[in-house]
Structure 1
Amino acid sequence: MHRTYSMRQSRAPTASQIQNPPPPASSTKSGRLFGSSSLGHAFRKNTAGAFGPDLAKKLSQLVKMEKNLMRSMELVGKERMEVAHQLSVWGEGCDDDVSDVTDKLGVLIYEIGELEDQFVDRYDQYRVTIKSIRNIEASVQPSRDRKQKITDQIAQLKYKEPNSPKIVVLEQELVRAEAESLVAEAQLSNITREKLKAAFSYQFDAIREHSEKLAIIAGFGKHLLELIDDTPVTPGETRTAYDGYENSKAIIQDCENALTNWVHDNAAVKSKISQRTRTLSQRRKAKAEGHDLADQDEPLQGDRDSWVNADQHGDYQDEEEADEEPTEERGREAVAS
């Protein structure tokens, strides 16, 4: 009768979830063509960026590797929940104190599995934001290619037909192409900085919350262990009857309250920079104020809607989207290759 209490009975939103609503479920949790096996991991990593524009290949590789990482974390979370259940099953046949404590430890370990599953969803916010930079890189590639193509045509005509009237026309086109490319490169620079800061803010916030909550669970787990009487007994001696059921339940409730009330503002671990770092930061800020470039990298607002999405270019295929939403035909092609 003592093996019924669990944190899973309470599903009310935590203070952290109220302050920062949870994101949708991670895109890695569905639409798997190759499953979660090592074969699928290797295939995604090796084919990342193979068919995309040169400018976006390196970031495509990173996005694929992050997907592999997230699927591994997801698997760890599920297996941790299974471990928690098995620990409770094993402890059920032990002495009263061991039975009660292992059951409550199973509750804590199961909670860790739940936190890891939530961490994957938070981490996906980082990956999707990084992925948006890759899409912008892919949309800039055509302007680079057009400028290079015109430059090559001019060089070829100057070599074969120095007096060709087409040279003047191509040079005018080159001026327009360079202007378009200049705008595209500037917008790429602006958006890259904006999205990079946002992406890693998502990741570090998720890591911080996850780590602090793990530390909370570990601390209360140590309190549970104190309920086990590990005093050696001689053969035939009887241990004192266990009376810690209410105590173990109170420890679990305290742990639940600590997890529920945790918010970023009350985080226990604070990152404090040294005086030297603070001085260097102040010097850099003072230098920047001497040459104000604040307006140079303004985030894109109205003009952003005029961009052509990467997947609308004929030469570009988002291989990741193909992986996330497989069809029977694509599956047959993958097996055949």
Structure 2
Amino acid sequence: MPYTEVIHRLVPTPAGRLHLAEQGTGPLVLLVHGFPECWYSWRHQLPALAAAGYRAVAIDVRGYGRSSRPDALDSYRMLELVADNVAVVDALGERSAVVVGHDWGANIAATSALLRPDVFRAVGLLSVPYTPPGGPKPSEVFAGMGGPEEFYVPYFQRPGRAEAEIEPDVRGWLAGFYAALSADTMPDADAPDPHFVTPGGTLRDRFPAGRLPGWLDEADLDVYAGEFERTGMTGALNRYRNMDRDWADLADHTGVPLTQPSLFLGGALDASTTWLSDAIEAYPTTLPGLRSSHILDGCGHWIQQERPQDTNRLLTEWLAALPGAV
């Protein structure tokens, strides 16, 4: 397969089917997106990885895009998403893969590597650091954040609530959400934090308006908006609605480190990186296989889209140094 060609296919998984975009040949690199994205968030990485000699595969996580969207809320628990990733590797005729994730995809990638080290031989995490399972129950942690304001996670967790905000204007909401977390369009440090909701308000109240971030043009926004206008937001939001269930499911793995060779890339202006700085400092214990770790100055949350050249360079350098690399 020429590395310039992207092949789209559907493969069987426990969800029913998963859609993936594939480019290149060589060792398998599985790319897992976050919220609110789809396979397209890896559009800059697919050709770069293919050119470097890898079989790059970006999936639509269950609930997104052309992948299945089960009705049951608990179908979006982390254990199910790990099973999907394993099924993709098997459906592609491979025995192992490197798994790389961004945002929620980083959590999915980390848990996939934690639970199935026989399948996932290395793990790359973008934007969201690894934190071992365990600790306080998530709903109790989030309920104590923000004082009179409400943190976005519990706001997303009530079924139907965020859908009522987003779905009447998917395109406009996505544009604002992407801008709120992008380095060149995020609110000033002294402005109200877009991660929190004023009582009686909406998340969108704090989004910047009027311009797109530099990494996102109208055509890119059309792709994302088109997917969510077609699917609705529930499948994507159900990931947030399983956090307590994940906490219980993974209780036997409390405090367990990830030992495979690993990579972490974060943005210096990304709240996911700054708020979880303690998790990054704990990497010698929690991520003992860490081979490459970089915080990109002047970068926000959408790291592989905001800084594709840096991400591609650091990712391919890390991959090339792995055992069994090209």
Structure with more helix by fraction: 1
Q: Which has the larger radius of gyration?
A: 1
Q: For the superposition of Structure 1 and Structure 2, which TM-score range results when normalised by the shorter chain?
A: under 0.3
Normalised TM-score (structure 2): 0.20
Normalised TM-score (structure 1): 0.19
Structure with more strand by fraction: 2
Query: Highest relative contact order (Cα 8 Å, sep 6+), 1 or 2?
Result: 1
